[in-house]
């Protein structure tokens, strides 16, 4: 039943931990700084330096997990319907946090919310298309 859990809950939880714990000790402003502050730097061939922060890593993880969520959405198992419902609940929670909770109105969290929304849309669209194909196949026989 763990397969029904949306994978995008992981970056949402990570973001919640960073923001709500007030990473850095100074409250929400410190959490925002912690998301933007460079954890490490990668020198580029152009001579520039690419600074990677916690927010960037959370977004990178979100993109990877979105890929796997999209693969899971193509499944026609019964557990996929539970996954779609849980993804919708996660989207509502993320949207409420984005709109109403201070510290969540950032570009990083907006992109996470967008990925969760895309997961919800992809799940429903794939389910509808596969159901229509099953219906068309059944009508022709």
pLDDT tens string, the chain, 141 residues long: the values are 677 889 999 999 999 988 887 655 555 666 777 788 888 899 999 989 998 988 899 999 999 999 998 888 777 677 888 888 999 999 999 999 999 987 888 888 999 999 999 999 988 888 777 766 655 555 555
The residues near 67 (Cβ < 8 Å, ≥ 6 apart) are none
What pLDDT sits at residue 103? 80
First-residue to last-residue Cα distance in the chain: 35
Give Cα 77 to chain centroid, integer Å: 22
What pLDDT sits at residue 27? 57
Phi, psi of 88 (to 5 degrees): -65, -40
Inter-axis angle of helices 9-20 and 107-140, to 10 degrees? 160
Q: How far is CA 97 from CA 15, 51, 86, 112, 126, in A?
A: 11, 27, 16, 12, 27
Predicted TM-score (pTM) of the model is 0.82
Tokens representing 130?
């596969």
The residues near 69 (Cβ < 8 Å, ≥ 6 apart) are 6, 7, 8, 87, 119, 122, 123
């Amino acid at each position: 039943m763990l397969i029904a859990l949306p994978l995008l809950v992981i970056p949402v939880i990570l973001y919640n931990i960073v923001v709500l714990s007030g990473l850095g000790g100074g409250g929400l402003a410190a959490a925002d700084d912690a998301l933007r502050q460079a954890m490490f730097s990668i020198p580029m061939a152009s001579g520039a330096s690419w600074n990677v922060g916690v927010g960037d890593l959370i977004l990178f993880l979100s993109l990877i997990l979105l890929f796997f969520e999209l693969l899971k959405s193509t499944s026609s198992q019964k557990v996929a319907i539970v996954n779609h419902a849980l993804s919708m609940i996660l989207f509502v929670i993320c949207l409420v946090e984005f709109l109403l909770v201070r510290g969540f109105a950032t570009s990083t969290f907006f992109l996470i919310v967008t990925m969760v929304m895309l997961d919800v849309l992809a799940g429903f669209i794939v389910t509808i298309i596969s159901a229509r194909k099953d219906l068309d196949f059944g009508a022709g026989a």
